[in-house]
Amino acid sequence: MKKSILLTLAFSASLVGALGLSSTSASAAKYRSGLPPILRHTKWHSAKTVKLSGVRAHAKLSFRTKSLYYAPAIGPGAQTTYKLKYKYIGHHAYYITGRVYNNAPKGGLAWKYKVTRPSSHKIYVKDYTNGVASGTYYR
């Protein structure tokens, strides 16, 4: 009886020691390729409307598989950000980085966004590069 109890205690102590020594850790703070699944293939429009010639216009933001398309309410300043990577920072918030090739030198310009999705019908976008796409967007 004593041998089986001692054997069980020795086995459980070695198992706990082996689990403590293994170093398998997952890092959620690394950049991943593409866009988060929660944002892929979605289209959004801005909360602010611009009235021009009796027509109301919204800025549009469209998330594709590996690109982000932004079209302002007025003007020809539409741009597409390619080679996107994202990092989850918690509370439905993501940092998204990519390259813009519109009228840019070879290799494009680096672009960075912070996107927060508090509900399924609203997102907040912060454009860290020049602030053009910043604002609240709705479905």
The model's confidence at residue 77, banded by pLDDT at 50, 70 and 90, is confident
DSSP classification of residue 12: H
Over residues 101-109, mean pLDDT? 88
Residue in the block written with tokens 């860290």: 128
Residue 56 pLDDT: 80
pLDDT tens digit string along 33-46? Answer: 999 999 999 999 99
Query: SS3 of 30, please?
Result: coil
Contacts for 69-76: CB closer than 8 Å, 24+ residues apart:
70/132, 70/133, 72/132, 73/46, 73/48, 73/49, 74/50
Which neighbouring-strand residues pair with 69? 62, 80
| Average pLDDT along the chain | 84
Residue 5 pLDDT: 59
Contacts for 101-104: CB closer than 8 Å, 24+ residues apart:
none
Consecutive H or E run containing 137: strand 135-138
Instruction: Report the C-alpha gap between 123 and 52 in whole angstroms.
Output: 25
In this prediction the pTM is 0.75
Residue 20 pLDDT: 54
Over residues 83-107, mean pLDDT? 93
Instruction: Report the C-alpha gap between 31 and 108 in whole angstroms.
Output: 19
Over residues 67-77, mean pLDDT? 88
Residue 22 pLDDT: 52
- Whether the CA torsion 53, 103, 87, 36 is positive or negative: it is positive
